[in-house]
Structure 1
């Protein structure tokens, strides 16, 4: 049970979209002249902005561009994965079924990334030994934090190069040009001006 003095220091995180943050900030401004911290809404901190609408827009654009439900027999397409993993609730209409589309894209994306990583390291599954692109033997035990970080980034750059080359092959197939500039800066340009 909380004591009276512990309530003074209690902070309650609040999450919401940008409009929720603005409304809470406006309410706190209106009550800024109140006598107590509770009346001034000072305990409602931190306010965490959740980019729900940005994610929804991204999923909508992604589904519009890459989820062609007529091509469910074409291996490797999002429609093919939809049928393969029995996602009947994914129909391309993100606004009406946001959670289903978010889970579907996340599941497929993680699975594809995992397969690219396993292929990069020459592994057949999570439990098999690495057969290529091994990190340095002493990376986990004897290296300082800075050297471990460099080894990690070198290894991950190889994985990300593999993923980017796979995406480039897929996107070239879809009449899309992917231009990679620098190690971690990716810029996409569409030949047909589609978004």
Structure 2
């Protein structure tokens, strides 16, 4: 068993029967600052890394809290890779009614009501060298029952995002049937 101690830059190692000194070389480093001139044309010769403009990370699952938690995870992964995550939003759920029938008959045995929840996270200006790393990182943390799609943003995604207000549309139709809007002068109050 050896015990090693250090005094004044020297290492002393004590064994069971003897003591010996080991000298460590102490070197002092001098920091020199110098200016390196690089011509401007060298910056133009480096290849540009192409960027993905807008990419949608589309999440779909049956359990809303799990889906929302996973969206937070995707947002954190994007932030750790210095990817600008634009905005995230929830889409209207898709409601399904599933019926189970008895074997070899059309008699309904059970009926199930399921909701498929959807979330979308939009990331912008991703370098093409970082995109595969981002996709692998979010796939690694993908929980069970959640579907993941990564798509380039299109106009259809904007249309899917906006939920139509059915009451407002009905009122607009009734207004058109009554002859449309009329010009009303504002009442001046004293």
TM-score in terms of structure 2 length: 0.25
- From the two aligned structures, give the one with the greater helix fraction: 1
Larger gyration radius, structure 1 or structure 2: 2
> Which structure has greater strand proportion?
2
**Quick one: higher RCO (CA 8 Å, sep 6+), 1 or 2?**
2
